[in-house]
Chains A and B, each alone.
Chain A
Amino acid sequence: MSTDKKPVPFEEKLEALETLVTRMEEGELSLDELLATYEQGVKLADSLKKDLENAQNRLSELKQGALKPIEEA
C-alpha cells in the first residue's frame, strides 16, 4: 500500500460506494454498522460530487477557451 496522498480515482470511489450500498441493502448490518457504513457512504458521495463538479467546471473552462478563435501568428 502506498502512503502518498494520491487522490483516489472517481471510478474507484464509485465502486466503493456501490459496495457499501449493496451491503446496506442486504439489511444484515447492525444499527451501529449501518450508521458507520452510511457515514462512509455519505463521505464517498460528497467526494464523488466534488470530483464531478470539478470536472464539469474544467470542462466549461475548456469549452470557453475552445470557442475563442485561434490567434494568428
Chain B
Amino acid sequence: MQARALSVSDLNEYVRRSLAADPMLQDMTIRGEVSNFKRHSSGHLYFSLKDESSRVACVMFRQYAQMLRFYPQDGMMVLLSGSVGLYTASGSYQFYGQAMQKDGVGALYERFLQLKDQLQKEGLFDAARKKPLPLLPRAVGVVTSATGAVIQDILTVTRRRFENMPVILRPAQVQGEGAAEDLRAGLLEIAALEEVDVIIIGRGGGSLEDLWAFNNEALVRAIAACQKPVISAVGHETDVTLADFAADMRAPTPSAAAELAVPLKKDLQERADGMLTALLISLERQLNQKSVLMNAQITRLQQSNPTQKIALALLSQGALQGRLHAAAALSLERLSTAAQAALARLKYAGPDLNLERGYAIALWEGRPVTRAERAPEEMTLLFQDGRVKVKRLAVTLYDNKEQRP
C-alpha cells in the first residue's frame, strides 16, 4: 500500500491527463452566470460561472479574450465554449474558455428595453421633435474618442466634401465607467460653441456593453434636449442605442454622419450658380417686358404727337390766307374793272366821242359856250381834227324844247 503511494504531482498529472483524454470534456459549452469577473493585466480573464447550486472556475486567455464582442460583467448569463482541464499547481479543475456569447436576453438588454419604452412614452423620440439639419453649418462639432477610426472617418469625409469646413472635436470617453457622463458633458460643451451648427456624437461598433454609455438616460435626454441638431453615429448599422432614437438624425456609420452634416461644396456652388442664373434670366425677361410696354406707349405718344394737328392748323391757316388773298385780288380786280368801266364811261361822257360823231364845241376864252344867248362875238369852234375861229352873225333862241332839232 505504502509502496504504491503517488506523489501529489503525480496524482494531479494523472487527473489532468484523464481529463484531457475525455473527448467530451475537450469540446463543450456550458451555460452560467458570470461572477467574480477579473481582467488580469496580462489580458487573461478570470471568473466563475455559476448556477443556483454550483460554480466552476473559468479562465479565458488573452488570445481568446481579444475576440470578444462584449465585456463580460458579473451577473451576465453567458454560453462559454471550451475545454475542461486541471490546474495542476492547485489541483483544482477549471474551464478553459475559448469563445463566449451572451445567453438570451440579458439583464442589460432588459434595462435597455425598459428605458426605451419609458422615453418613447415621454415623446423623446417623436419625429416632430427632430430638428432639421443645417444646409451649411459654420462648424461641425464632434463628440467622440480622440483616437480611433471614428474621428478620422469624419475628418476624411468632411475634407472631401467641403475642404475648409471647421471640425471641432470634443474628445470623450466612449465606453466604460464614466463614459456616459463624459459624453453628456462633451455634448453640452460643444453645443455651447456659437459656430457649431450641427453635432455628431458617436463611436465605433461594439457589443451592447461597448455601446452601453449611449443608452444612458441622462445622455439620451441631453441629446433630445440639445438646441442644435445632433447626428448619432453609434456602432455599425445593426447596432441601435437610445442615443440613436433621441438624435435628430441617425447615421449608420461615422462617414455617413459626416455626409449628413456637411454638404458637398460643389453641389452647393452649382445650386447657387443655378439660382443666380435663374435670377438673372428672370430679371432680364422682366426688363425686356417693361421695355416692350414702354416702347408701345412711346410709339403711341409719337403717333399722337401734335405735329399733325399743327400741320392741319397750318394748312387751314394757309387756306384762309389764300382765301384772303384771293378775296383781295378779286376785289381789286372788281375795283379795277369798275374803274375801267368808269373811265370808259368817263370817256364816253367826255367831249371826244361827240366830236367824232360830228358835233363841235364852241369855246370862248377856253371855256365852252353852252347857251346861244351867251354867245360872244367871236368864238372858237373845236372839231375833232382842229379848230375854226368864227364870228357871230345872228342869235335865235328857242321858245321851248320842242323847237330843238
A8 within 8 A of B: no
**Distance to closest chain B CB from A56 (angstroms):** 6
The answer for the CA separation of A13 and B269 in the assembled complex, in Å, is: 39
User: Is B306's CB under 8 angstroms from A21's CB?
Assistant: no
Chain B interface, >50% SS class: helix
Residues of A within 8 A of B284 (CB): 59
Tally chain B residues at the interface, Cβ within 8 Å: 25
In the complex formed, the residue of A with least CB distance to B313 is: A31
**Distance to closest chain A CB from B221 (angstroms):** 37
Residues of A within 8 A of B273 (CB): 66
**Distance to closest chain A CB from B283 (angstroms):** 6
User: Is A14's CB under 8 angstroms from B297's CB?
Assistant: yes
User: Is A52's CB under 8 angstroms from B310's CB?
Assistant: no
**Distance to closest chain A CB from B77 (angstroms):** 56
The answer for the CA separation of A24 and B304 in the assembled complex, in Å, is: 6
**Distance to closest chain B CB from A17 (angstroms):** 5
**Distance to closest chain B CB from A48 (angstroms):** 5
B301 within 8 A of A: yes
Q: Mark B299-311, 1 if CB is under 8 A from A, else 0.
A: 0110111100110
User: Is B309's CB under 8 angstroms from A31's CB?
Assistant: yes
User: Is A21's CB under 8 angstroms from B301's CB?
Assistant: yes
In the complex formed, the residue of A with least CB distance to B269 is: A70
Contact flag A20-B301 (CB < 8 Å), given A14-B293, A34-B309:
yes
**Distance to closest chain A CB from B136 (angstroms):** 12
User: Is B301's CB under 8 angstroms from A52's CB?
Assistant: no
Residues of B within 8 A of A25 (CB): 300, 303-304
The answer for the CA separation of A1 and B55 in the assembled complex, in Å, is: 100
Contact flag A35-B276 (CB < 8 Å), given A25-B300, A42-B301, A56-B287:
no
User: Is B280's CB under 8 angstroms from A38's CB?
Assistant: no
The number of inter-chain residue pairs (CB within 8 angstroms) is 68
In the complex formed, the residue of A with least CB distance to B312 is: A31
User: Is B287's CB under 8 angstroms from A55's CB?
Assistant: yes
Contact flag A18-B280 (CB < 8 Å), given A24-B304, A35-B306, A52-B287:
no
B294 within 8 A of A: yes
User: Is B269's CB under 8 angstroms from A34's CB?
Assistant: no
- In B232-279, the 8 Å CB interface with A consists of 269, 272-273, 276-277
Residues of B within 8 A of A41 (CB): 301
B164 within 8 A of A: yes
- In A31-46, the 8 Å CB interface with B consists of 31, 34-35, 38, 41-42, 45
Residues of B within 8 A of A62 (CB): 280, 283
User: Is B304's CB under 8 angstroms from A17's CB?
Assistant: no
**Distance to closest chain A CB from B301 (angstroms):** 5
The answer for the CA separation of A64 and B150 in the assembled complex, in Å, is: 44
Give the residue of B283, B290, B301 whose beta carbon is less than 8 angstroms from that of A38.
B301
**Distance to closest chain B CB from A64 (angstroms):** 11
B291 within 8 A of A: yes
The answer for the CA separation of A17 and B299 in the assembled complex, in Å, is: 11
B298 within 8 A of A: yes
Contact flag A59-B283 (CB < 8 Å), given A34-B306, A41-B301:
yes
Report the 4 A-B pairs with minimum CB-CB distance, sorted nearest first: A24-B304, A21-B300, A41-B301, A34-B306
A–B Cβ pairs within 8 angstroms, 21 of them: A10-B290, A17-B301, A18-B297, A24-B304, A24-B305, A25-B300, A31-B309, A31-B310, A38-B301, A38-B306, A42-B301, A45-B297, A48-B294, A48-B297, A48-B298, A49-B294, A55-B287, A59-B280, A62-B280, A63-B280, A66-B277
Apart from A17-B298, A52-B291: 5 A-B pairs, beta carbons within 8 A: A35-B306, A38-B304, A41-B301, A42-B301, A73-B164
Residues in B lying within 8 Å of A, measured CB to CB: 164, 269, 272-273, 276-277, 280, 283-284, 287, 290-291, 293-294, 297-298, 300-301, 303-306, 309-310, 313
